[in-house]
Structure 1
Amino acid sequence: MGDRVQMEIKRKKREVTLAGLFTRYTVIFCVNILLIFVILIGVICLFPLSSLFLPANYAEEQIDEKRDAIAEADVVTSDLIPNRCSYGVYDADGWYLYGNFADEEKEPAWKHYEEERSSAGGAFYYQYIRRKDGEVCIVKYALHLQFANEKLNDHLPNAEGILIVVVLFLFVLLLLANAVLVSRTFAKVLKKRLQKLERVTKKIADQELDFEIEASDIREINTVMDSFEKMKRALKESLEQQWKLEQQKQEQMAALAHDIKTPLTVIRGHAELLAEETLPDEAGESTAYILSNVQQIEDYLAAMRQVLDGGSLPEQQERFSGEEVKELLFDIARQTAAAQGSFVLFSGEKTKGGVICDRQLLIRAFENILSNAFAYGDTEKGIRLSVAENCREGEQFLKISVHNFGRGFSKRDLIYADQEFYSGDESRHDSTHQGLGLAIVRKFAAAQGGYLEYRNEAGGAVVEVYLREK
């Protein structure tokens, strides 16, 4: 349980789920809709009370006020009838005398009177006023909202239609505002919580692992935070372990470099003593090779110590003519062949161009090619080395070609030979080979704007390096 507590964040006492959070804002959205309905009902109730409108029964009230005047007038004129109302005067037998009823309204109006029905259909109604001599004045009016200003009644649709449009517009507007407000608030709340995840992710990605992960009030986010806490601790432990291993490796490499220095000094001392003696030509040449290679090993050890001390190896770019490259490589090939008990066949035309590169990187790449050539070739047949200029796709290259006479590349070698840590077929005798040889050559050639090619040819393997001339 102790490990479990350490691997999880300290959670807050009150947590909600994402579903609960979403439900909360859904409820808020629905409550806001109810409030919108209350507001719109209030608008519908208060709208007619404004001075802009007349009440729906305004015409009916006007008729009631003028009922006596209509009953007693000798002739009913339109000025006794409220605006936007029509009327007709009938005798006792139902004959239409006068008024402003349309022809199709005259008969239905009298029939409604006889049946004592006040509704004329829809929002229209009849008022019946009995006059002297048995006459009856029938007034047709509408029960609906009207504008107080007659000009508005003449030029706009009826007021009730306007009210419905206004209410619908307010409903849509308030509904959209509610949706935007609630969704933005929900998104803001969720974004604030997710930003904690983003900060934790960034710190872990940047390997800033000395921090406490802050808990959220959302359960699902806390579950993810727990996973991040475990990841952070595991990564921290892994990096610490890696750092310790790296430190041990550097200490071992430093100790090895120091241990190599002592026998190397002894070798140099004896070789220098031999060089001071009068030796046969072959022995003298071998002594010179020993001193030259001792110096090269010392240079490698100095470079190794510089890297172990936290420095880097600066590239010392130099310009070499093609002839200088040829002379350097031929000399290295002679020394390597002598050490292997083999020989080298040299060829190549006089070159005009040159290359710009680091001398040590050039030597390192070429020595890797030679070591593979002698290791997998026939020492009795030697190797063939040529340095010449070559033009490809309009560009001039210095081509270095090494051909050995051995078993050649296998099918798998032809695919992977220049990949890092590829050590070839298991049947090869060198089990300590680290598979870096041609990979180093490929990288060096690419850095010079060139490339590496290799193939099988004439009972052996051919490796060609193309360096762009500058």
Structure 2
Amino acid sequence: MKDKPLKSQIRLTIVLIVVSSLLATIVTYAAGIWLFSYLLYKKINPANYYEAQIPGIEAYIREQGGALIDPAARERLERVIPRDGMDYQVFDAAGNRVYGSSDAAYVAQPEDLIRRLNTTFPARGRFVRAVPVVSGQDGLSGAVLLAYELKVSPASDSGRYWIAALLIVMIATPFIYFVLAILFFTKRFAARVNKPLQMLMAAARQIKNKNLDFELDYRADNELGRLSAAFSEMKDELKRSLSAQWRMEEERRSMTEALAHDLKTPLSLILGYAEALLDDPEAARTAKQARYLDIIRENAEKCSALVRRMLYIAELEGPGLQVRPVEVRIGPFLRQKLSHYELEARQRRIRIEADIRGDADAPVRFDAEMAERILDNVMTNSLEHTPPGGRIRIAVRVRPDRAEYEICNTGPPFSKKDLENLFRRFYRGAEARGSKGGHAGLGLYIVRQLAAKMGGAARAYNAETGEACIAFHHAIETPQTSSARREEARQEGCADE
């Protein structure tokens, strides 16, 4: 059935639900009829039970004749009439009620009583039989009305419970069987449909986790089978494409690393000789030559810094760079780090404000070297774009599981293009925050990569005050969480053994 189209499976499921519930209902009704016939006259009376008693009652009335009009005959008459399901009324020849078990007005006038003698007529929701009372000498002495219903009735005290149970079963079973059939067949249908869907969801998670070495083990000649086949083809094509892309990326990274290594030595030589010439007091040179040497040294230093960053990015993108947590107190760590920027900030007439919240003096563990690199890159970028007389605001919040940093400056706000590309490699900014100082556009790319390595993230935005802000966070470990992780690792090791 799994090879059938989904439309056919749905139709077949509906047919199975209807047919199975009908068959089950028919079987239950047949069993109910058999049980009813078995209990008939033992626990249950048939619908015409009281009607079948009327000929015997009429024979008794004819036998007794006019003596039944006397109220003294009441006890004898009630021995003949089944009182639990039949009412009676005794009238005299004038149409006056003498006695009986019911006060209901089954006939309106005495004339109606005479007219309805020896007939059965409906009245007040019941069937009424009018039986004449005839006396040998006096003729018609009166009449007896017998009122009854044509319905199943209990033959004993437990009979009413059997009737109620049979009635409930007959009414409820079609709905119960229909609901059970829906639950059973829809569960089977859902299981058939859910199996490939679960496999597709698991495959999607594998792709999300960058694992393409798996196979979809589902084959069916229907929509789900074709979807699974198309997904497998997409996965294979993606694997080929990503493999080629990964190879190209690895080649690019290796080439960048090799090029940076190759440039490092000649740049060091150029910088060394330029500094030697500038620092040699005995060297005779003109002012023009000295200016040229300054330019050579300055640009050699820029190239050396760029090479160092390229080498660091190659290391950062490779598998070799590991996070090495050490015990740090964030408050003293941050205050010491900010002191490194005070001289440059004073020279640029820029004010640095810091706000540290949370338990900043408590010992925590994180990679302090990586955190320093992140702060260096963000602060360098902020100092570069903050105008003289401006401000750099640093807000740090220490939470139980991470440290959050927000560094905002009063320089030009980020453009839409900046916000989309700021953390991309070699992006040098839009015109408002254009390249200054010849930077290569690698600083914020390094910030994002390092924050991710440390279990956090980085983002850029414009504050409502107009400030340009870089926010990032990284994970931290407290002594409690560190001991808890060591205990978990120990328990996992014991379990493996």
Runs of at least 5 residues in structure 1 that lack an aligned partner in the other structure: 1-12, 154-158, 331-345, 374-383, 403-408, 455-462
Amino acid at match of 1:30: V
1:292-334, Cα deviation, whole Å (9 max, x unpaired): 668646644652453364233869977547664244679xxxx
Q: Which moved more, 1:236-245 or 1:289-298?
A: 289-298
Amino acid at match of 1:51: K
Partner residue of 1:110?
Answer: 114
Report if aligned partners of 2:377, 2:444 keep a CA contact under 8 Å in 1.
no
Partner residue of 2:231?
Answer: 228
Partner residue of 2:25?
Answer: 36
Give the distance between the partners of 2:220 and 2:443, measured in 1 at CA: 57
Give the distance between the partners of 2:443 and 2:213, measured in 1 at CA: 41
Report if aligned partners of 1:71, 1:132 keep a CA contact under 8 Å in 2.
no
Report if aligned partners of 2:271, 2:297 keep a CA contact under 8 Å in 1.
no
Give the distance between the partners of 2:281 and 2:447, measured in 1 at CA: 40
Partner residue of 1:146?
Answer: 153
Give the distance between the partners of 1:352 and 1:464, measured in 2 at CA: 15
Cα distance change on mapping 1:261 and 1:318 into 2, 3 Å: farther
Q: CA deviation at 1:123?
A: 2.7
- 1:117-196 superposed matches below 5 A: 117-119=119-121, 122-127=126-131, 132-133=136-137, 134-135=139-140, 138-141=143-146, 142-144=148-150, 145-149=152-156, 169-171=168-170, 173-192=172-191, 193-196=193-196
Report if aligned partners of 1:417, 1:438 keep a CA contact under 8 Å in 2.
no
TM-score, normalised to structure 1, is 0.60
Q: CA deviation at 1:22?
A: 2.6
Give the distance between the partners of 2:49 and 2:352, measured in 1 at CA: 115
TM-score, normalised to structure 2, is 0.57
Amino acid at match of 1:146: S
Report SS of the residue matched to 2:244.
helix
Report if aligned partners of 1:453, 1:464 keep a CA contact under 8 Å in 2.
yes
Q: CA deviation at 1:260?
A: 1.2
Give the distance between the partners of 1:89 and 1:398, measured in 2 at CA: 109
- Which of 310, 332, 347 is 2:319 aligned to? 310
Partner residue of 1:260?
Answer: 263
Report SS of the residue matched to 1:212.
coil
Give the distance between the partners of 1:16 and 1:289, measured in 2 at CA: 75
Give the distance between the partners of 1:392 and 1:300, measured in 2 at CA: 25
Q: CA deviation at 1:186?
A: 3.5
Q: CA deviation at 1:181?
A: 1.6
Q: CA deviation at 1:252?
A: 1.3
Aligned residues: 395
Cα distance change on mapping 1:225 and 1:350 into 2, 3 Å: closer
Q: CA deviation at 1:241?
A: 1.8
Report if aligned partners of 1:87, 1:140 keep a CA contact under 8 Å in 2.
yes
Q: Percent identity?
A: 18
- 1:427-442 superposed matches below 5 A: none
- Which of 243, 246, 264 is 1:243 aligned to? 246
- Which of 34, 50, 55 is 2:46 aligned to? 55
Measured on the aligned residues, the alpha-carbon RMSD in Å equals: 5.8
Cα distance change on mapping 1:140 and 1:440 into 2, 3 Å: same
Q: CA deviation at 1:49?
A: 1.2
Q: CA deviation at 1:255?
A: 2.2
Q: Which moved more, 1:189-198 or 1:311-320?
A: 311-320
1:393-428, Cα deviation, whole Å (9 max, x unpaired): 9x9x999899xxxxxx9xx98554564246547xx9
Give the distance between the partners of 2:247 and 2:448, measured in 1 at CA: 32
Report SS of the residue matched to 2:129.
strand
